[in-house]
C-alpha cells in the first residue's frame, strides 16, 4: 500500500497515474490527513503558491522517516508553448518523479507524461520553438522523457506535420463503428458482440447505422470529407451485402472523389473470403487491415482468435492478389507465454508477407476482457516488453518502415506505447488525425465519439454516441439532433 497526501493543489488523478507507473499493481490510497508515522510508504505532495514565489515540493516517508525531499521553484521554468497551469502541474509531477526514481530498479521511459497522446506535446513545442534541439531538451529536462523516446516523439511529429498543417476548418473525417465479431478474443474489451445465430439484430443495426450516416450527410453539407474509417469490432463479420450497403451509403452521401483515404478494418482472417474481399475492393476501399496479433499457433489458440496461421496467410495473399493498395497488420506484444523469440518469429513471418503498415500494440490489461479477469501473471512479459519494442523498431526499419503515429493506453504491460509503422507515403491519414486531434472526426455507430475541432481556439467538443445497443437502435433521431446542435448551431 502507498499512501499519498496532497496539499495546495488538486492534481490527484495525475499523481495517481504517475505513482502507478512507479509501483504497478500496488494499492494507492489518498489520505486526508498527513500521517508521517505510517509504516507504509507515504508520498507528500504540496504546492506552495505565494505572491512572491511558487514551489512544488515532494517528501517521501518510509517507516515514519523522511527519506527524500525535492523542491522545485516553478518561477524558474519558462517554456514557450506550455501554459502556466501545465507548467505548475509538470513541476508537481517532476518533484514526485525525482523523489521516486531512485527508489525503484526499473526505468520510467516516458518520464512524467501519463497522457495517451504524447505526440501532441511535441507538436505544441515544435509550434512554439523553432529549434528542434531545444524541443528535445525540453522533453528530456522538463518532462524527464528518455532520450530515445524524446527523439521518437520528434521524428513522428515531424513526419505527421504535412498531414496536419495547414489546419483546414471545414475538413473532417468519418469513423463508422460495427460492433460485431465472430467470437470474443480474451484480451479485448472493445464493445463487440458475437454475431452468433441471431442475425436479426445485425440487420437492424445496419439499418440504423445507414440512417445515421444519412443524417450526418445533411449536417455536414458543404464540408470536405477527408478520410473514412470503418472499424469495430470486426466490420467484415457481418454479411458482405450488409457491409456493402454501409460503404455504398458513404459513397452516395458524400463527394467520394474528395475522400483521400478509405479504410475497412477487415481484422479477423476468419471473416474474409473472396466474396468479401472482392466486394470491398470493388467499392474502391484503399486500405484494409488483416490482423495476425501473433504468428505463433499456440498463442493464437490461447487468446481465442478461433483461426489458424494458414488463414492469415491465405486471406492476406488473396487481398494482395486483388490489388489492395495498403494492407495493415496489427500485432500485440506481451501476450501470455510469448517471449522475445516468439516476437522475432512473428516479425519474420510478417516480413515475408510484406504489408505496407504494421501496428504494434503493447498488451493492455483492460477491465472487461477475459484476460484481465483471469488475472494471469504477466510479470515476465512485462520485463521483456522493452526489448520486444526495440526488436520491432529494428525490424520495421530493416523492412523500410518508419514510425508515423504513437499512442499510449492505461494499464499497458510495462507502461510503454503502441506504434504504427508505415512504408513511405503509405501512412494512414485517419490514424494521424484521430490521434493528434487537429481535425473534426464525426463518429457513427454504437459508442462512436464525435470530436468537433475548432482551429481558431484549438478546442475540441466531444459527443459520444450511446454505448448500449438498445438505446442506439431506438434513439437515433435524438442522437442526430444532438450532432446537429453541436455542429450547426
Ligand atoms: C478494435 S481492435 C479491432 C481489430 C479486429 N477486430 C481484429 O481483431 O483484428 C484493434 C486492435 O486493437 C488491439 N487490441 C485489442 N485489445 C487489446 C489489448 N487489450 N491490448 C493491446 N492491444 C489490443 C489488437 O491488435 C486489435 O487488432
Ligand atoms: S480483438 Fe477484434 S475480433 Fe477480437 S474481440 Fe476485439 S474487436 Fe473482436
CATH code at position 447? 3.80.30.20
Predicted confidence at residue 398, as pLDDT, reads 97
Q: Average pLDDT of the chain?
A: 92
Classify residue 102 by its DSSP letter.
Answer: G
C-alpha cell at 224: 470536405
Predicted confidence at residue 489, as pLDDT, reads 62
Nearest ligand, CA of residue 265?
Answer: 1
Predicted confidence at residue 211, as pLDDT, reads 98
In this predicted model, which residue has the larger pLDDT, 366 or 294? Answer: 294
Centroid of ligand 1 to alpha carbon of 332 (angstroms)? 8
Kindly give the residue spans of alpha helices, DSSP state H, lying in 104-199.
Answer: 118-128, 132-142, 147-164
pLDDT digits (tens, 9 = 90+) for 25-54: 789 999 988 777 777 899 999 999 887 788
Predicted confidence at residue 52, as pLDDT, reads 77
| Res 374 pLDDT > 60 | no
Asked, for residue 120, whether it belongs to a domain, the answer is: no
Spatial CA neighbour of 343 closest among 296, 408, 307? 296
| Res 370 pLDDT > 90 | no
pLDDT digits (tens, 9 = 90+) for 197-218: 778 899 999 999 999 999 999 9
In this predicted model, which residue has the larger pLDDT, 461 or 199? Answer: 461
Asked, for residue 480, whether it belongs to a domain, the answer is: no
Asked, for residue 186, whether it belongs to a domain, the answer is: yes
Domain boundary (71, 106, 141) is at 106
How far apart are alpha carbons 347 and 400 in whole angstroms? 13
Contact 268, 242 (CB under 8 A): no
Nearest ligand, CA of residue 180?
Answer: 2
pLDDT over 70, % of the chain: 96
At residue 392, the 3 state secondary structure works out as helix
Sign of the Cα pseudo-torsion (299, 304, 308, 314, in order): negative
269 plus 386 within the same structural domain? yes
Query: Which helix (H) or strand (E) element contains residue 330?
Result: strand 326-333
Nearest ligand, CA of residue 194?
Answer: 2
Confidence grade of residue 422 (pLDDT, cut at 50, 70, 90): very high
185 plus 99 within the same structural domain? no
Contact 211, 267 (CB under 8 A): no
Centroid of ligand 2 to alpha carbon of 320 (angstroms)? 23
Query: Which helix (H) or strand (E) element contains residue 277?
Result: helix 274-282
Omega of the bond leading into 166 within 30 degrees of 0 (cis) = yes
Nearest ligand, CA of residue 368?
Answer: 1
Contact 141, 93 (CB under 8 A): no
280 plus 374 within the same structural domain? yes
| Res 261 pLDDT > 60 | yes
How far apart are alpha carbons 153 and 149 in whole angstroms? 6
What's the residue count for the chain? 489
- What's the whole-number mean pLDDT along residues 302-316? 94
In this predicted model, which residue has the larger pLDDT, 360 or 39? Answer: 360
What are the phi and psi torsion angles at 267 (to 5°)?
Answer: 65, -100
Predicted confidence at residue 4, as pLDDT, reads 96
Burial 40-50 (b: 16+ CB within 10 A, else e): bbbbbbbbeee
- Sole residue written with cell 508515423: 404
98 plus 175 within the same structural domain? no
CATH code at position 36? 3.30.160
In this predicted model, which residue has the larger pLDDT, 354 or 50? Answer: 354
Domain boundary (59, 83, 106) is at 106
Q: Give me the DSSP letters along 213-258.
A: HHHHHHHTTTSEEEEEEEEES-GGGS-HHHHHHHHHHHHHHTTGGG
- What's the whole-number mean pLDDT along residues 132-137? 94
For residue 7, what are the β-bridge partners?
46
| Res 296 pLDDT > 50 | yes
**Atom 17 in ligand 1: residue holding the nearest Cα:** 188
Spatial CA neighbour of 407 closest among 433, 446, 371? 433
How far apart are alpha carbons 284 and 262 in whole angstroms? 8
101 plus 179 within the same structural domain? no
178 plus 272 within the same structural domain? yes
Predicted confidence at residue 91, as pLDDT, reads 95
C-alpha cell at 445: 455507430
Asked, for residue 464, whether it belongs to a domain, the answer is: yes
Centroid of ligand 1 to alpha carbon of 291 (angstroms)? 8
Confidence grade of residue 130 (pLDDT, cut at 50, 70, 90): confident
Contact 362, 414 (CB under 8 A): yes
Centroid of ligand 2 to alpha carbon of 152 (angstroms)? 29
At residue 318, the 3 state secondary structure works out as helix
Burial 183-209 (b: 16+ CB within 10 A, else e): bbbbbbbbbbbebeeeeeebeebbebb
Ligand 2, CB cutoff 6 Å, lining residues: 181, 184-185, 188, 190, 192, 232-234, 267-268
Asked, for residue 162, whether it belongs to a domain, the answer is: no
- Using left for φ > 0, alpha for ψ between -120 and 50, and beta otherwise, residue 323 falls in left
| Mutation to probe ligand 1, out of 332, 366, 411 (largest number of atoms < 8 A from CB) | 332
366 plus 463 within the same structural domain? yes
C-alpha cell at 468: 448500449
47 plus 194 within the same structural domain? no
Strands 449-454 and 180-181: unpaired
Predicted confidence at residue 367, as pLDDT, reads 56
370 plus 258 within the same structural domain? yes
Ligand 1 atom, smallest distance to 366 CA: 19
How far apart are alpha carbons 99 and 69 in whole angstroms? 6
Asked, for residue 152, whether it belongs to a domain, the answer is: no
Confidence grade of residue 254 (pLDDT, cut at 50, 70, 90): very high
91 plus 190 within the same structural domain? no
CB-side neighbour CA atoms (13 Å) of 381 = 20
In this predicted model, which residue has the larger pLDDT, 176 or 63? Answer: 176
Centroid of ligand 1 to alpha carbon of 44 (angstroms)? 38
| Res 369 pLDDT > 60 | no
Predicted confidence at residue 405, as pLDDT, reads 98
- What's the whole-number mean pLDDT along residues 425-450? 97
pLDDT digits (tens, 9 = 90+) for 229-238: 999 999 999 9
| Mutation to probe ligand 2, out of 192, 271, 301, 371 (largest number of atoms < 8 A from CB) | 192
For residue 176, what are the β-bridge partners?
230, 444
Confidence grade of residue 373 (pLDDT, cut at 50, 70, 90): very low
93 plus 176 within the same structural domain? no
Check pocket membership of 293 for ligand 1, CB cut-off 6 A.
yes
- Sole residue written with cell 530515445: 148
At residue 444, the 3 state secondary structure works out as strand
Predicted confidence at residue 27, as pLDDT, reads 92
- What's the whole-number mean pLDDT along residues 434-445? 96
**Atom 15 in ligand 1: residue holding the nearest Cα:** 188
Lowest-confidence segment of 145-154, 278-287, 373-382 by average pLDDT: 373-382
Centroid of ligand 1 to alpha carbon of 367 (angstroms)? 14
Predicted confidence at residue 375, as pLDDT, reads 45
Confidence grade of residue 366 (pLDDT, cut at 50, 70, 90): low
Domain that holds residue 256: 171-474
Predicted confidence at residue 381, as pLDDT, reads 53
Asked, for residue 201, whether it belongs to a domain, the answer is: yes
Strands 171-178 and 65-73: unpaired
437 plus 293 within the same structural domain? yes
Predicted confidence at residue 380, as pLDDT, reads 53
What are the phi and psi torsion angles at 260 (to 5°)?
Answer: -85, -20
Asked, for residue 454, whether it belongs to a domain, the answer is: yes
Check pocket membership of 267 for ligand 1, CB cut-off 6 A.
yes
Total tally of structural domains belonging to the chain: 2
- What's the whole-number mean pLDDT along residues 61-82? 89
Domain boundary (55, 84, 106) is at 106
C-alpha cell at 77: 521554468
Query: Which helix (H) or strand (E) element contains residue 205?
Result: helix 200-219
Amino acid at each position: 500500500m502507498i499512501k499519498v497526501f496532497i496539499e495546495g493543489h488538486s492534481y490527484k488523478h495525475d499523481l495517481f497515474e504517475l505513482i502507478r507507473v512507479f509501483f504497478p499493481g500496488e494499492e494507492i490510497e489518498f489520505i486526508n490527513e498527513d500521517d508521517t508515522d505510517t509504516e507504509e510508504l507515504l508520498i507528500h505532495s504540496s504546492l506552495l503558491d505565494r505572491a512572491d514565489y511558487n514551489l512544488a515540493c515532494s517528501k517521501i516517508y518510509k517507516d515514519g522517516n523522511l527519506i527524500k525531499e525535492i523542491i522545485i521553484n516553478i518561477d524558474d521554468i519558462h517554456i514557450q508553448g506550455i501554459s502556466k497551469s501545465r507548467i505548475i502541474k509538470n513541476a508537481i509531477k517532476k518533484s514526485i518523479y525525482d523523489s521516486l526514481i531512485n527508489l525503484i530498479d526499473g526505468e520510467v521511459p516516458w518520464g512524467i507524461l501519463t497522457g495517451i497522446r504524447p505526440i501532441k506535446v511535441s507538436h505544441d513545442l515544435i509550434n512554439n520553438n523553432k529549434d528542434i534541439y531545444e524541443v528535445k531538451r525540453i522533453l528530456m529536462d522538463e518532462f524527464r522523457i528518455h532520450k530515445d523516446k524524446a527523439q521518437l516523439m520528434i521524428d513522428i511529429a515531424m513526419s505527421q506535420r504535412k498531414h496536419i498543417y495547414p489546419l483546414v476548418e471545414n475538413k473532417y473525417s468519418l469513423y463508422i463503428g460495427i460492433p460485431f465479431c465472430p467470437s470474443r478474443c480474451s484480451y479485448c474489451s472493445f464493445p463487440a458482440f458475437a454475431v452468433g445465430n441471431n442475425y436479426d439484430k445485425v440487420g437492424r443495426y445496419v439499418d440504423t447505422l445507414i440512417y445515421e450516416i444519412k443524417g450526418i450527410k445533411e449536417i455536414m453539407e458543404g464540408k470536405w470529407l477527408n478520410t473514412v474509417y470503418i472499424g469495430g469490432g470486426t466490420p467484415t463479420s457481418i454479411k458482405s451485402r450488409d457491409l456493402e450497403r454501409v460503404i455504398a451509403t458513404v459513397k452516395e452521401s458524400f463527394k467520394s472523389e474528395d475522400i483521400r483515404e478509405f479504410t475497412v478494418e477487415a481484422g479477423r482472417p476468419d471473416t474474409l473470403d473472396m466474396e468479401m474481399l472482392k466486394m470491398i475492393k470493388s467499392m474502391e476501399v484503399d486500405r484494409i487491415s488483416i490482423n495476425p496479433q501473433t504468428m505463433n499457433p499456440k498463442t493464437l489458440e490461447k487468446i481465442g482468435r478461433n483461426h489458424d496461421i494458414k488463414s492469415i496467410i491465405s486471406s492476406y495473399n488473396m487481398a494482395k492478389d486483388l490489388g489492395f493498395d495498403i494492407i495493415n497488420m496489427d500485432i500485440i506484444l506481451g501476450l501470455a507465454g510469448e517471449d522475445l523469440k516468439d516476437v522475432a518469429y512473428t516479425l519474420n513471418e510478417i516480413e515475408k508477407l510484406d504489408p505496407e503498415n504494421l501496428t504494434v500494440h503493447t498488451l493492455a490489461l483492460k477491465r472487461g476482457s477475459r484476460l484481465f479477469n483471469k488475472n494471469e501473471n504477466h510479470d515476465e512479459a512485462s520485463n521483456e516488453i522493452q526489448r520486444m519494442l526495440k526488436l520491432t523498431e529494428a525490424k520495421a526499419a530493416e523492412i523500410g518502415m518508419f514510425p508515423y503515429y504513437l499512442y499510449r493506453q492505461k494499464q499497458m504491460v510495462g507502461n510503454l506505447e503502441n506504434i504504427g509503422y508505415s512504408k513511405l507515403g503509405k501512412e494512414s491519414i485517419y490514424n494521424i488525425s484521430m490521434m493528434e486531434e487537429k481535425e473534426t472526426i464525426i463518429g457513427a455507430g454504437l459508442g462512436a465519439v464525435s470530436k468537433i475541432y475548432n482551429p481558431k481556439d484549438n478546442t475540441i467538443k466531444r459527443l459520444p454516441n450511446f454505448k448500449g445497443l438498445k438505446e442506439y437502435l431506438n434513439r437515433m433521431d435524438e442522437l442526430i439532433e444532438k450532432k446537429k446542435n453541436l455542429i450547426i448551431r
